[in-house]
Amino acid sequence: MVERMTRQEIEKWALGEPETEGLTEKEIEHVVHCLEALMNWYWEDIPCGHFLTAVLTNDFNEACGRADGTNRKVLTLYDKFLYNCIPADYKEKLRKE
């Protein structure tokens, strides 16, 4: 069972992934904030914005169109995060919304 991660755990995980290599400190902070928003959506039912909703619904075209410059650099990181860090039943949670 995947458990809820703290912000520090999310940051440590993200920094261990190749997608974050070469990002500035500000860009990493932005990515960690977005990853934390996904965690909050799953565990606390806090809505997320259009970009993250597109990521959650596997709408690649919409995600690319809504991604800012930082998130365009790390799009694959979001897929990895959903697969490795969010419980697999998140798709069922989406259908209930």
The answer, yes or no, to whether residue 1 has pLDDT greater than 80, is no
The verdict on pTM exceeding 0.85 is yes
Average pLDDT, the chain: 96
Alpha-carbon gap, residue 32 to 14, rounded angstroms:
7
| DSSP string computed for 80-92 | HHHHHHS-TTHHH
The answer, yes or no, to whether residue 97 has pLDDT greater than 90, is no
Domain residue spans of the chain? 7-96
Half-sphere exposure of residue 64, counting CA atoms within 13 Å on the CB side? 3
Alpha-carbon gap, residue 94 to 6, rounded angstroms:
22
30 vs 93: which has the higher pLDDT:
30
- Give 23's pLDDT tier (boundaries 50, 70, 90): very high
Cite the DSSP H helix spans in 1-97.
Answer: 7-15, 25-44, 50-56, 60-66, 69-73, 75-85, 90-96
